[in-house]
């Protein structure tokens, strides 16, 4: 009796309560495979687990996440959204990183390395994402320089700022702050 009460107390604290029953994601995924010969996507399985028997979402938090899932899926089909490693549609919609030992929306024996075909650590994925953000900042900086009246908007290899000195003690190699730039009108932001 005390285990049942403890379990029901834990369930009431869940932000997104699953309504899939005892079999959960595994049974739903197997049904999808029998229907169309393909395994279900994690975000679709998560969405179906959150709906009741009438097909409606009960929790308002689940409604917000389902809207984000639909938004990211349309962006993915248009090519403006890219899944990198464990940062896919579901983990971005939930705005939580994936657990290291299991995968949301799949059975408990599926690890991130099996599901996402990862051959490196999750920290490498985070480094890739931070490097992409850094590249976007650099692109914005270069576009800001091109908007300056002194610089022509067309690409000229002689007009590109070059690194004069590199100080590896100041910052890591991919950041703007570790370099002294030549022929640059605006100093880079840190």
Q: Which of 119, 148, 167 is the last residue of a domain?
A: 119
Under 8 Å CB-to-CB from 103, ≥6 apart: which residues? 42, 110, 111, 112, 115
Supply the pTM of this predicted model: 0.52
131 in any annotated domain: yes
Indicate whether 143 and 85 sit together in one domain: no
Q: Which residue is listed with tokens 């009108």? A: 185
Task: State the virtual CA torsion across 154, 156, 157, 162 in degrees, nearest 10.
Answer: -80
Pair (105, 137) in one structural domain: no
Sign of the Cα pseudo-torsion (65, 90, 15, 54, in order): positive
Helices (H), the chain: 2-12, 24-36, 42-50, 60-78, 89-94, 112-115, 122-147
132 within a domain of the structure (yes/no):
yes
20 in any annotated domain? yes
On whether both 19 and 45 belong to a single domain, the answer is yes
Residues 73 and 36 in one domain: yes
Give the HSE-up count for residue 110: Cα atoms under 13 Å, Cβ half-sphere.
14
- Phi/psi for 117 (5° steps) reads 55, 45
76, part of any domain = yes
How does pLDDT run across 152-190, given as a tens digit for each residue? 555 555 555 555 555 444 444 445 554 555 554 445 555
Residue 110 lies in a domain: yes
**In a shared domain, residues 87 and 174:** no
Q: Domain ends where: 92, 119, 146?
A: 119
Residues ≥6 apart with Cβ < 8 Å to 136: none
Residue 169: which domain range?
125-182
* Number of compact structural domains in the chain: 2
pLDDT tens track, the chain, 190 positions: 888 888 888 777 777 766 666 667 777 777 877 888 877 788 888 888 888 778 788 788 888 888 999 999 999 889 888 887 788 888 888 888 887 777 877 767 788 877 777 765 556 667 778 888 888 888 888 777 766 655 555 555 555 555 555 544 444 444 555 455 555 444 555 5
Phi/psi at 61 (5° precision): -65, -40
106 and 33 co-located in one domain: yes
């Amino acid at each position: 009796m005390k285990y049942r009460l403890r379990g029901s107390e834990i369930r009431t604290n869940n932000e997104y309560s699953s309504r899939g029953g005892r079999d959960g994601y595994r049974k739903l995924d197997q049904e999808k495979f029998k229907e169309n010969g393909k395994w279900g996507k994690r975000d679709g399985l998560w969405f179906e687990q959150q709906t009741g028997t009438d097909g409606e979402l009960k929790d308002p938090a689940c409604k917000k996440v389902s809207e984000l899932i639909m938004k990211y899926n349309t962006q993915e089909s248009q090519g403006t959204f890219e899944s990198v490693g464990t940062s896919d549609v579901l983990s971005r919609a939930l705005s939580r990183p994936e657990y290291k030992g299991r995968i949301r929306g799949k059975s408990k024996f599926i690890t991130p390395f099996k599901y996402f075909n990862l051959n490196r650590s999750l920290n490498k994925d985070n480094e890739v994402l931070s490097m992409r953000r850094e590249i976007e900042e650099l692109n914005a900086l270069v576009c800001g320089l091109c908007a300056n009246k002194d610089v022509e908007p067309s690409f000229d290899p002689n007009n590109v700022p070059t690194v004069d000195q590199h100080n590896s003690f100041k910052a890591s190699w991919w950041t703007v702050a570790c370099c002294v730039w030549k022929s640059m009108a605006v100093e880079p932001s840190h």
